[in-house]
């Protein structure tokens, strides 16, 4: 089995794959102060609770947008699993031709999303990852990563509103019944949630025009994708495991290139 680690700003999402079949999925809070032993013990306990031995893991594939803990996670993999994790870096085959001005700038999670979206759903396509930041990726019919957009995530936008506007209260990030709010909280919910949906719809519309194809599939992933997808008319597929599936696909391309 392959252990995949998707280390985000808020959570580390991890899954075990047997081929492309996901066997287990866990979420662990990303904590820059945790030691490699703490992360190791957490994963060992999750495996034990699921009745899985660490010896059944033949490889580890890792993506991280938090450079500060990369060494910690790599050290954990060596100490607790006896192997170095494979990472998305120069020399690793992805099957995607990256048309970025500087490909090294492109986040490994966005590459994994592009690989999974193109291989599982076909191109041209657009990925949307609703995380701490929301990222959009455009992939051509030929499997080229054309570029995309990055904007603050829903939670980040909501936090900025309450932290920088002294008289505005904290509020639950949920969808109000109407766009026209009748009190301060529903006004804020409307502006953040429905305003965000409008932003998503507009960016997707513009990206489709720039890709130049009428048939562009839009695949959404990330923790808050369900909140947006229910109101947006541009999202075709919701796949909460898109990044992890992409990591598994990239691992297989490099560990078993002839399969």
0.85 exceeded by pTM: yes
**Residue-level pLDDT at 36:** 96
**pLDDT(243) > 80:** yes
Q: At CA 126, angle to CA 95 and CA 159, rounded to 5?
A: 115
Say what angle helices 70-81 and 36-49 make with each other, to 10 degrees: 50
Of these residues, 6, 109, 129, 239, which one is catalytic?
109
**pLDDT(259) > 70:** no
Q: What integer best gives the mean pLDDT of the chain?
A: 92
Q: Which residues pair with 145 in a beta bridge?
A: 98, 139
Pairing of strands 144-152, 97-98: parallel
Q: What would the mean pLDDT of 225-254 be, rounded to a whole number? A: 92
Q: What would the mean pLDDT of 159-174 be, rounded to a whole number? A: 85
**Residue-level pLDDT at 236:** 94
Residue 255 pLDDT level (bands cut at 50, 70, 90):
confident
pLDDT digits (tens, 9 = 90+) for 94-137: 999 999 899 889 999 999 999 999 999 999 999 999 988 999 99
**Residue-level pLDDT at 258:** 67
Rounded to an integer, what distance in angstroms lies between the CA atom of residue 242 and that of residue 16?
14
**Residue-level pLDDT at 227:** 83
Q: How far is CA 79 from each of CA 44, 73, 92, 258, rounded to the nearest angstrom?
A: 12, 10, 24, 30
Q: Quick check: is 109 catalytic?
A: yes
SS3 readout for 47-83: HHHCCCCHHHCCEEEEEECCHHHHHHHHHHHHHHHCC
Q: Which domains does the chain have, with CATH numbers?
A: 2-87 (3.30.420.40), 97-246 (3.30.420.40)
φ, ψ of residue 183 in degrees (nearest 5): -150, 175
Rounded to an integer, what distance in angstroms lies between the CA atom of residue 193 and that of residue 207?
21
């Amino acid at each position: 089995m392959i252990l995949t680690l998707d280390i985000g700003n808020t959570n580390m999402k991890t899954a075990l794959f047997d081929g492309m079949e996901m066997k287990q999925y866990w979420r662990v809070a990303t904590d820059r102060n945790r030691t490699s032993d703490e992360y190791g013990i957490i994963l060992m306990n999750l495996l034990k609770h699921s009745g899985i031995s660490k010896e059944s893991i033949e490889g580890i594939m890792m993506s991280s947008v938090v450079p500060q803990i990369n060494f910690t996670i790599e050290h954990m993999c060596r100490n607790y699993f006896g192997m170095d994790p494979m990472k998305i870096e120069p020399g690793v085959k992805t099957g995607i031709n990256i048309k970025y001005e500087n490909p090294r700038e492109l986040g490994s999670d966005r590459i994994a999303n592009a690989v999974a979206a193109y291989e599982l759903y076909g191109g041209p396509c657009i990925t949307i990852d609703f995380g701490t930041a929301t990222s959009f990726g455009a992939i051509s019919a030929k499997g080229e990563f054309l570029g995309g957009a990055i904007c603050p995530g829903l939670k980040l936008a909501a936090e900025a509103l309450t932290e920088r506007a002294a008289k505005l209260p904290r509020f639950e990030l949920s969808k109000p019944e109407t766009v026209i709010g009748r009190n301060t909280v529903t006004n804020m919910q409307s502006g953040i949630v429905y305003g965000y949906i409008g932003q998503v719809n507009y960016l997707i519309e513009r990206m489709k025009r720039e890709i130049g194809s009428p048939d562009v599939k839009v695949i959404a992933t990330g923790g808050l994708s369900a909140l947006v997808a229910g109101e947006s008319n541009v999202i075709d597929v919701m796949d909460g495991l898109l990044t992890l599936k992409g990591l598994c696909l990239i691992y297989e391309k490099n560990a078993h290139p002839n399969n």
